[in-house]
């Protein structure tokens, strides 16, 4: 099943999309990778969703990526004697370590790490920013704040700290349990929530030992300031605009989105744009014009994937949301302005043989108007390099490793095919031509360009280019 677009679609599973038949409909509508939100999924449900996804994968004969999204530290205030209280801008309000029920002067904050880290002048945003406080004093046991804006606070509302770097890592005890469970299943990506610094990735790397790829969600200002370091240690990034828009000014988010996408493109790391992309389709069969423009902007920028959250997980129109997103992407990629925009951000290749080969493959393919670029990739590195070039032509990523093909299903422009490893160069060319024909990327007499590493089965050794014709029988390269 060939997609008619380069950008990928990441769909979240939930109550509206958990059964096998619906998962298949979402895949057929255009979903390439599926997200399991561990904030809501038990271990038992996660295992069942993975089983269903792998059943669909067998039915459709295409590699499907699975991403497990860890909850991360959820910071919340305690409870109030009356469930909620009214506040007045300018008044003093205290968050402390006293477990007594709160009133309109104070509330319990069950997070000693916050009490210890907040300093005078730091902002505390409650309930997605509906209540804004600024710390006036902190002694490690309580934080005396002044109400800046907002008038209400109620039980268990979330706390955001745009100015504070916490001394604890991004992995909670729940996350550790969830990660252990995820690593026992056929999951390809793990998303880490509320990353603040590159060190937050270290523990997950140590636990996972390369069994899954790591996607860092950028949703805190502290992560934006250390973006280059986080990109270097991550396998992919997500622009998580929901929390980012709470902790930073809303008007800054579009610029940060562009900054992250371009930084990831330079580094050759996949980047996903997420949150509220087709939000109105939770309850409506069509999106707003503004939402269509929002999705189009991410596609024009060259994001690897765009994500649906509640639209596919709990909405009334999950299949329509996926198919709408696919149609928007296809139309953008047909736009006459698209090639110029996408290529204006093309990064300079690194001074390596592998990067030079990938650049040459793209230039030759476009100059000669070949049918496709075919890459052999066991580890995924060659596929990532090919996608980094953002060629106008299709890229077929052939891998003998099913886990590699599944991970690469998140990457821009890659049509992933699991195939047996080539035995020699002739077999490599024959196999590439055969699959290009079989997957409807070329007809007899068409030409493709093949990039690979020689000797075969040597990870990261991309050093060969070969132009080949698809044979008259549509099967053999000549």
Starting at the earlier edge strand, list the strands of the sheet with 131-138.
106-108, 92-96, 142-149, 131-138, 123-126, 159-160
**Rounded average pLDDT over 128-150:** 96
Note the pLDDT of residue 308.
98
Note the pLDDT of residue 36.
98
DSSP H or E segment with residue 138:
strand 131-138
Q: Indicate if the pLDDT at residue 477 is higher than 60.
A: no
Note the pLDDT of residue 460.
62
Q: Indicate if the pLDDT at residue 399 is higher than 80.
A: yes
Q: Indicate if the pLDDT at residue 354 is higher than 90.
A: no
CA distances from 465 to 3, 69, 95, 449 (A): 25, 38, 63, 7
Q: Indicate if the pLDDT at residue 350 is higher than 90.
A: no
Note the pLDDT of residue 110.
95
Copy the structure tokens of residue 324. 């709408």
CA distances from 380 to 4, 7, 34, 201, 407 (A): 22, 18, 19, 21, 8
Note the pLDDT of residue 15.
96
d(CA 192, CA 180): 14
Q: How confident is the model at residue 349 (pLDDT cuts 50, 70, 90)?
A: confident
What tens digit of pLDDT does each residue of 405-414 get?
Answer: 999 999 999 9
Kindly write down the DSSP assignment for every residue of 403-464, as one continuous string.
HHHHHHTTSTTEEEEE-PPPSSHHHHHHHHHHHHHHTTS--TT-EEEEEEESSTT-TT-EEE
Q: Which CATH superfamily is domain 353-469 in?
A: Pyruvate kinase, C-terminal domain (3.40.1380.20)
Residue among 464, 439, 450 nearest 374 (CA): 450
Note the pLDDT of residue 472.
75
Q: Indicate if the pLDDT at residue 461 is higher than 80.
A: no
Note the pLDDT of residue 220.
92
What does the CA dihedral 262, 268, 274, 277 come to, rounded to 10 degrees?
A: 60
What tens digit of pLDDT does each residue of 104-129 get?
Answer: 999 999 999 999 999 999 999 999 89
Say which range, 68-72, 351-355, 416-420, 436-440, has the weakest mean pLDDT: 351-355
What tens digit of pLDDT does each residue of 187-221 get?
Answer: 999 999 999 999 999 999 999 999 999 999 999 99
Q: How confident is the model at residue 459 (pLDDT cuts 50, 70, 90)?
A: low
**Rounded average pLDDT over 340-359:** 89
Note the pLDDT of residue 433.
95
Q: Indicate if the pLDDT at residue 455 is higher than 80.
A: no
Note the pLDDT of residue 462.
78
Catalytic residue IDs: 35, 76, 217, 275
Q: Which CATH superfamily is domain 8-72+170-334 in?
A: Phosphoenolpyruvate-binding domains (3.20.20.60)
Q: How confident is the model at residue 160 (pLDDT cuts 50, 70, 90)?
A: very high
d(CA 379, CA 438): 24
Mean pLDDT of the chain: 94
**Rounded average pLDDT over 41-60:** 98
What tens digit of pLDDT does each residue of 272-312 get?
Answer: 999 999 999 999 999 999 999 999 999 999 999 999 999 99
Note the pLDDT of residue 457.
66
Q: Please state the domain extents for the chain.
A: 8-72+170-334, 84-160, 353-469
Which CATH number among 3.40.605.10, 3.40.50.1700, 2.40.33.10, 1.25.40.10 corresponds to the domain 84-160?
A: 2.40.33.10
Residue among 282, 336, 269 nearest 313 (CA): 282
Residue bearing the bigger pLDDT, 349 or 374: 374
DSSP label of 335: S
8 Å CB contact between 195 and 217: yes
For the chain, percent of residues with pLDDT exceeding 70 = 97
Question: Which residues, 6 or more positions from 134, have their beta carbon under 8 angstroms from its beta carbon?
Answer: 121, 122, 123, 124, 145, 146, 148
Count CB neighbours of 110 within 10 A. Answer: 13
DSSP H or E segment with residue 392:
none
Note the pLDDT of residue 478.
54
């Amino acid at each position: 099943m060939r997609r008619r677009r380069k950008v990928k679609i990441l769909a979240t599973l939930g109550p509206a999309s958990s059964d096998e038949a619906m998962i298949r409909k979402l895949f057929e509508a255009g979903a390439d990778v599926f997200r399991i939100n561990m904030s809501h999924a038990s271990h038992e449900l996660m295992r069942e969703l993975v089983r269903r996804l792998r059943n669909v994968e067998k039915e459709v004969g295409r590699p499907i990526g699975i991403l497990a999204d860890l909850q991360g530290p959820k910071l919340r205030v305690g409870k109030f004697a009356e469930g909620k209280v009214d506040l007045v801008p300018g008044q003093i309000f205290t968050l402390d370590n006293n477990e007594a029920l709160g009133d309109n002067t104070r509330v319990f904050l069950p997070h000693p790490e916050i009490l210890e880290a907040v300093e005078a002048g730091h902002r505390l945003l409650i309930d997605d920013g509906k209540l804004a406080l600024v710390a006036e004093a902190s002694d490690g046991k309580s934080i005396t704040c002044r109400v800046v804006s907002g008038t209400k606070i109620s039980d268990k509302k979330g706390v955001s700290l745009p100015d504070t770097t916490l001394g604890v890592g991004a992995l909670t005890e729940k996350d550790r349990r969830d990660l252990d469970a995820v690593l026992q299943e056929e999951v390809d990506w793990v998303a880490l929530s509320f990353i603040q610094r590159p060190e937050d990735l270290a523990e997950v790397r140590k636990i996972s030992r390369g069994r899954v790829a790591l996607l860092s969600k950028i949703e805190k200002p502290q992560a934006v300031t250390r973006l280059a370091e986080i990109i270097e240690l991550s396998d992919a990034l997500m622009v998580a605009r929901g929390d980012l828009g709470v902790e930073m000014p809303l008007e800054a988010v579009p610029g940060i989105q562009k900054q992250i996408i371009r930084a990831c493109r330079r580094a050759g790391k996949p980047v996903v744009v997420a949150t509220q992309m087709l939000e109105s389709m939770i309850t409506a069969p069509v999106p707003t014009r503004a939402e269509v423009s929002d999705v189009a902007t991410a596609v024009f920028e060259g994001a690897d994937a765009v994500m649906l959250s509640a639209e596919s997980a709990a909405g009334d129109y999950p299949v329509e949301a996926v198919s709408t997103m696919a149609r928007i992407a296809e139309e953008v990629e047909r736009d006459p302005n698209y090639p110029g925009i996408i290529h204006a951000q093309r990064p300079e290749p690194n001074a390596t043989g592998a990067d030079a080969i990938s650049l040459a493959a793209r230039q030759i393919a476009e100059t000669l108007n070949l049918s496709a670029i075919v890459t052999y990739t066991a580890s995924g590195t060659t596929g990532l390099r090919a996608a980094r070039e953002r060629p106008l032509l299709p890229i077929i990523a052939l891998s003998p490793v099913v886990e590699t093909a599944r991970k690469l299903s998140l990457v821009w422009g890659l049509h992933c095919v699991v195939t047996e490893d080539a035995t020699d160069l002739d077999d490599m060319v024959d196999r590439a031509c055969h699959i290009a024909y079989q997957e409807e990327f070329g007809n007899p007499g068409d030409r493709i360009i093949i990039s690979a590493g020689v000797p075969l089965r040597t990870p990261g050794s991309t050093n060969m280019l070969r132009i080949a014709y698809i044979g008259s029988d549509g099967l053999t390269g000549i």
